[in-house]
Amino acid sequence: MHIEIQRNADISLTKQIYHSILDHIRSDLLEEDLQLPSVRELSKQIGVSLVTVVKAYQKLEQEGYITSVQGKGTFIRKTNIKEAEKKEGAISYDWQLSIQDYLPRSQFARFHQVPEKIHLSSSMIDPGLLPNRYLEQEIHKMLSENPKVLSQYGEIQGDKELRQAMVEYLKRMDVPTTPDNILVTSGSQQGIDLVARTFVGPGDVVVMEAPTYPGAIDVFRGRGATILTVPVDSDGMRVDLLQNLCDKYKPKIIYTVPTFHNPTGAVMPTKRRRQILEIAKSTQCLVIEDDPCSEIYFERKPPASMISLDQDGHVIYLKGLSKILAPGCRIGILAASGSIFKRLLAAKANADLGSPLLTQKAIIPFITSKRMMDHLKKLRTALKIRRDVVLEILSQHSPKEVSWFVPKGGLNVWLTLPFWLNTDHLLLEAKNEQITFLPGSTCFPTNQENHYLRISFSYMNEPQLEQGVKTICNILQLAIDSKIKQDSSPYF
């Protein structure tokens, strides 16, 4: 079992061990009946005293997560699981946990699945705001009229009718495409992966915003890329810092979320979009324009997409439908041109021979009808109300040391805390209250910064948001107060 200890953190070593084991249990990495290392083994492995480990084990035992059997050892025992259900002689897979992986952020996604009461960590849309019933009816209708949809491969590039429908849909958003330069992907996550596996190899340079979308970081890391970062301000990526970086390191890819940037919510003005395209042209690199939610604006429509400003085929545009329609359908599109497109199409064939036809067909009637635009209008209204609840609670209850960016669209509010606060640790406190948020550290590709956090307002309803954000404010206030008390103590 791999337990990471931070020695100069504010949180005690016992607590760190306790929380680390608890997180492993809750995310199902430690299975029922698995034997934990002995106190002696663990203290040696992570370099802490025996007492520190004993205390952590005692707390876990008191709370019913583990049990010590004299002469045998300490075993995982999930609460609510009866003694009688335990199997004798369960195999220990502990060795598997000692194998390091290179996807730390991807692992974090497992924690989203923990049934917390108030989820403010993942920017999914509240299912009640999506047209599930309508899609369900379409699926029924399609299956009864055309059951062959289940027994056929679709086109690798994606269903032609859907590509045509997406062209019309994107036209309304000033994204110029044709059915021939659209590739249907399994969500935009697959779009990022296809670009990475096609154009990025070990040691190639990729430029990303800092902070950025965590799901993209691990994809490029997984390819062995060297990631360089450019900070983000209220207008998105700091283009003034980009030129030098590109001149010096010649990146293969610049990855950006220019509209309602994840996690900060910033919108990049047209001037910067054009500057990035100029830089891409001068360094002959590709730009991934990731656009999960430009439809979700609360004031005016965001500026034109980068792909619409691109004359030379540098931009690979990704539009996911998860934030606006149906994440369960796993549909997104990638738009690119020339040989870049052809090579991505080949990568899609290697990856999965095409996305499932059933879900592609199911969404066509909705996105081609007037319902789609009506739905988006309602979605914007509902999410604006939720954003405003979060902003209101923050302005009433957050400590004065905390600041945030007011997003004019998207799904998240990004909070900046005093630099000495570590939101990885505060998350543990929040989880004790059955609340999650996204700690900022997951969004930084290189130098991890720990004093940020992201609150997503898209999944919970207003009362849950109110309760969750108030509790987070409380946790922040307590952490700040205790630091102030400590600093003013005569012993420090």
User: Which residues contribute to the site for ligand PMP (CB under 6 A)?
Assistant: 123, 187-189, 213, 215, 257, 262, 290, 292, 320, 322, 327, 332
Nearer to ligand PMP, 209 or 310 (CB): 209
Question: Do the strands 118-120 and 435-439 form a parallel or antiparallel pair, or are they unpaired?
Answer: parallel
Instruction: Identify whether the C-beta of residue 263 lies closer than 8 Å to the C-beta of residue 229.
Output: no
* Strand-pair category, 452-456 with 412-416: antiparallel
Nearer to ligand PMP, 194 or 277 (CB): 194
Choice between 36 and 276, CB closer to ligand PMP = 276
Q: For the CB of residue 302, give the shortest distance to ligand PMP in the complex, in Å.
A: 14
124/8 Cα distance (integer angstroms): 34
Question: Rounded to the nearest whole angstrom, what is the least distance from the CB of residue 124 to ligand PMP in the complex?
Answer: 8
Q: Which is nearer to ligand PMP, 236 or 320 (CB)?
A: 320
Closest separation in Å from C-beta 332 to ligand PMP = 4
Quick one: which H or E segment has residue 89?
none
Identify whether the C-beta of residue 30 lies closer than 8 Å to the C-beta of residue 21: yes
Give the shortest CB-77-to-ligand PMP separation in angstroms: 35
> Minimum distance from CB of 356 to ligand PMP (Å)?
14
CB closer to ligand PMP out of 302 and 332: 332
> Sign (positive/negative) of CA torsion 395, 400, 402, 403?
positive
By CB atoms closer than 10 A (0-12, 13-18, 19+), residue 435 is: buried
Alpha helices in 398-450 (DSSP H): 423-432
Closer residue to ligand PMP (CB): 290 or 429: 290
Q: How far is the CB of 188 from ligand PMP (least distance, A)?
A: 4
With 0-12 / 13-18 / 19 or more C-beta atoms within 10 angstroms meaning exposed / middle / buried, residue 300 is exposed
115 HSE (CA, 13 A, CB side)? 0
454 with 443: CB under 8 angstroms?
yes
Closer to ligand PMP by CB, 189 or 464: give it. Answer: 189
CB 319 within 8 A of CB 291: yes
Q: Residue 123 Cβ, how far from ligand PMP at the closest point, in Å?
A: 5
Q: Half-sphere exposure (CA, 13 Å, Cβ side) for 340?
A: 24
Question: Do 179 and 167 form a contact (C-beta atoms < 8 A)?
Answer: yes
